[in-house]
Amino acid sequence: MTNDNPPPARINTFLPGAILAGIWTAQKLNLSMPAWLGAAFSSLLLFLIANKKAKNYVLEQPVKRVSRGLFLLTFFCAAGTWTVLNTSGNAASAGPTPLPEEITVSGVIQQPPEIRTNRTYFEIRPDRSPGQDPPPFSGNVMAVVYWAEESYQYGDRISLTGKPTLIRAGSPASYFRYLRQQGFGVMMYSPRIEKLSENNGNPLFTLIFRLRALLLEKVYRIYPAPENALMAGILLGDESRIPSDIEDAFQRTGTAHVVAISGANFAVLTWLLMKMIHLLIPRWWGQLTLIPVVFFYAVLTGGNPAILRAALMGSFTIFGLTLGRKTNGIRSLLWSITAIALFNPGALFEISLQLSATATIGILLFKDPMRRLVTRLLSRIPVIPETIQERIVELTDELLLISIAAQIFTVWISAAAFHQISLISLFANLLITPFQSIIMLGGLFSLLCGMVFEPAGALAAAFVWPAPAFTIRAVRFCAGIPWASGYAGISAGTAWLIIGTLLLAWIRRDRMRQWDREKLAQRGLILLFFLNILLWKTALELSDTRLRVTFSGSAASPQIQIRTPQHQIFWIAPGSTNYAAKDMLTMHWLETGRVAGAFIDFPEKWMRAEFIETTSDLPAHIYLNGIHPQPGLDTAANGLAQLKPGFHLQAGTVGLDVPVTYLKRRGWQVHYGNLHIFIPMGISMKNIQKLGREDLIASANLILLGGDDDILEWEKYLQKVFCGETQCSAAPLIFNYTQYGEPKIYSDGQKIWLFGKK
């Protein structure tokens, strides 16, 4: 008995998957090092026993399958052990770290400063000399300067003095989360800057960044505005001069991936360069010459970690494809992701890595089948000569199919990461995708001509210019449609479930075509079973008359849902975006409650204005940044148009109060029967004492603390006030909801049920 696919080939494919699964699991499950180590040794021992028995057989036997499974399990556990070993040192420092009011940090500028219209961004790597005290944080420094008295460049050593802002990991869409993933530990706004010395960077990088500056200057000279800003973003990763209205239009239409060099965009460009190099060097080794070019271009466009990782994955894929099979390209891609994850386990959760990986997989899997489909469709038109058909297929492949294949998976990653999906994205992408290859390859050609002889570059740019001009105008047109963009409420898990389902369906497509009626009936019954579960779940929720308090979002922008026994829903959401706010007010499928009120604070004023203008059906009890948008209505039971101390809202048997405020923060109380919940929302215990509101703690059964609350401060206060020498009496229960994954609190007014996972 033999296999069509030999076991070594399958092992070569599944082994990196097992390692990646171990790295991912170790970061999701809170297992200790001894547990992972014991599992690794146990699986290794079982593998050696099974493998010894498997050697007695020549043909495929169950013991051989067990041996291969234990082999993969051994690497799974070993990867988990490695991950815990590498991340255990960071666990202690994952929580809030107190920083002084002012610090002085000296270091070298790591990237060319990003100069925007009204501010400049500096990336500083702090000096960590053996004779000096280490800085009170980990990672690099992001400095934001609104007015720089002199110019700075890569390699300058500067000194920064100012107030530090600790960067904590927030939601995947959070800017701080993005900075944390890029290796930043602290931000400093408007620090005092002193230049200490120059030319402290890598000499090779200094030359490359000087070349980048010359190329940027050339782009802005040979292309007119605003097309020059778009070309600078696409070709060299410089988005600093893109007008805000154009940038917003790309965001609204789901085409932001074409604005700058991202992981997905870099994968598409690498594939286009592969096709071009194949025409210039039609030898089997020709594609390998592209690998140094890919890394050089990655550094030229800024050299940030996301692009360097995309270059590494692209190089592995090129190497695998050079061996002659598409499956080798997929295996090489998996091994490159594995190497990146072993070096930095947290990279698996970075959006840039996920986008570049899924874009490459999409191209490898779907480009050739789509090309064959186009060939078959054209072959049915006999009036078109065969040579012209082949040319049309080549142009379609280069201009359209590569970009579409790259977006089949990446659209779900983007929707889950940024909680925004464009309802007109497919149409907008179909409009502009045929011109992206012209922009990339034609833009690079015009730059090369411009560096040799500027008039020649301007002439080449004149032929390329219609492509970015049409792209901007098409995106603006699509963004003007009222329903162009909407909030995407899918989570990262849902996005990967969709991707996994699509991938599994594609891999098993041949077997799915062979399903007979009996198998179809079986799968229909399974589908009806899950539908029945959903219906029963909805019915049980309707019969549940307990108070529910559910937490979601991030520590920086939490979302608290309060659902009354009468199925009225109230939202408390400080730091929310307008897209998230719209989703809160939207009724979803099988939703059993109705939104009766929302208390939303937007970080930017324009978000509040845009939300009011674009949302027609507002609940009666809605407050945006503490103010009711329609004060003429009956805003609350006591008629208050602002959220201030004394605000009270009675929703059936549940009462909502704002008993205390401090600066822009508002504490909340929830009353139901004998249950009294106090949510300080970042107001410290010292400030509550300063305001003379210790009675809020004394009357509470449960205190809910979030990411901005100091749990040690609260525990010390409760220990001091409610505990004697031997025991504590009538002390409220503290629940730190940032330690749990979307925790839920249920109560019937007497008992409390707490649900959540560490």
- Of 159, 162, 167, 161, the C-alpha closest to 124 is 159
For residues 70 and 131, state if they share a domain.
no
Q: How far is CA 328 from CA 8, 57, 131, 320, 381, in A?
A: 13, 29, 50, 5, 35
Do 585 and 441 reside in the same domain of the chain? no
**Same domain, residue pair 583 and 729:** yes
Tell me, what CATH number does 719's domain have?
Answer: 3.60.15
Residue that terminates a domain, selected from 57, 91, 125: 91
Whether residue 507 lies inside any domain: the answer is no
Amino acid at 492: A
Res 465: pLDDT: 92
Taking alpha carbons only, the member of 315, 317, 322 closest to residue 283 is: 322
Q: Are residues 48 and 175 in the same domain?
A: no
Q: Which amino acid is at 371?
A: R
Q: What is the pLDDT of residue 85?
A: 84
**Both 351 and 469 in a single domain?**
yes
Please check whether residues 552 and 407 belong to one and the same domain: no
Q: Which residues contact 479 (CB under 8 A, 6 or more apart)?
A: 248, 249, 250, 252, 253, 485
Nearest to 352 by CA among 420, 257, 428: 257
Q: What is the pLDDT of residue 190?
A: 81
Say if residues 398 and 374 touch (Cβ distance below 8 Å): no
What distance in Å separates the CA atoms of residue 444 and residue 267, rounded to the nearest whole number? 16
Q: Mean pLDDT, 10 residues at a time, over the chain (758 residues)?
A: 48 80 84 87 90 78 83 90 74 51 85 75 79 70 78 86 72 56 77 87 84 88 89 82 79 72 66 72 71 79 70 74 63 81 80 79 83 85 82 74 78 72 71 79 87 89 91 86 65 80 80 63 73 71 82 75 90 83 74 84 80 78 84 48 85 90 88 90 88 86 83 84 67 77 82 74
Domain end, chosen from 91, 122, 142, is at: 91
Query: Are the beta carbons of 353 and 306 closer than 8 angstroms?
Result: yes
Residues 6+ apart with CB under 8 A from 54: 61, 63, 64, 66, 67
| 608, two tokens | 């509040």
Cα separations in angstroms, 399 against 71, 254, 317, 429: 44, 19, 21, 12
Q: Is residue 509 part of a domain?
A: no
Residues 6+ apart with CB under 8 A from 396: 371, 374
Helix (H, G, I), strand (E, B) or coil at 656: strand
| 145 occurs within a structural domain | yes
For position 667, what pLDDT does the model report? 92
CB 411 within 8 A of CB 428: no
Examine residue 97 and state whether it is found in any structural domain, yes or no.
no
The verdict on residue 610 lying in a domain is yes
For residues 575 and 455, membership in a common domain is answered with no
Residues 6+ positions from 433 with CB-CB distance below 8 Å: 399, 400, 403, 404
State the distance between the two ends of the chain, measured CA to CA, in whole angstroms: 48
Query: Residue 79 sits in which domain range?
Result: 7-91
pLDDT score, position 392: 82
The total number of residues shown for the chain amounts to 758
Q: 552 and 533 in one domain?
A: no
Structural domain total, the chain = 5
**265 is a domain residue:** yes
Same domain, 349 and 369: yes
pTM (2 d.p.): 0.62
Instruction: List, as one string, the DSSP characters of 250-307.
Output: HHHTT-GGGTS--HHHHHHHHHHHHHHHHHH--STTGGGGHHHHHHHHHHHTT--HHH
Amino acid at 172: P
Tell me how far CA of residue 159 lies from CA of 2, 149, 195, 382, in angstroms.
Answer: 68, 14, 6, 72
CATH code, domain carrying 127: 2.40.50
Which residues, 6 or more positions from 158, have their beta carbon under 8 angstroms from its beta carbon? 106, 107, 109, 122, 124, 152, 193, 194, 195, 196
Peptide bond into 8 cis (omega under 30): no
- The angle at the Cα of 693, spanning 689 to 695, to the nearest 5 degrees, equals 115
Sort strands 485-487 and 420-422 into parallel, antiparallel or unpaired: antiparallel
Going by C-alpha positions, the residue among 277, 273, 343, 340 that lies closest to residue 312 is 340
Give the pLDDT confidence score for residue 599 in this predicted structure: 92
341 and 354 share one domain: yes
Question: Does residue 96 lie in a domain region?
Answer: no
**Residues 310 and 266 placed together within one structural domain of the fold:** yes
Quick one: 67 and 124 in the same domain? no
Domain limit, last residue, from 502, 535, 565: 502
CB 599 within 8 A of CB 571: yes
Question: Is residue 512 in a domain?
Answer: no
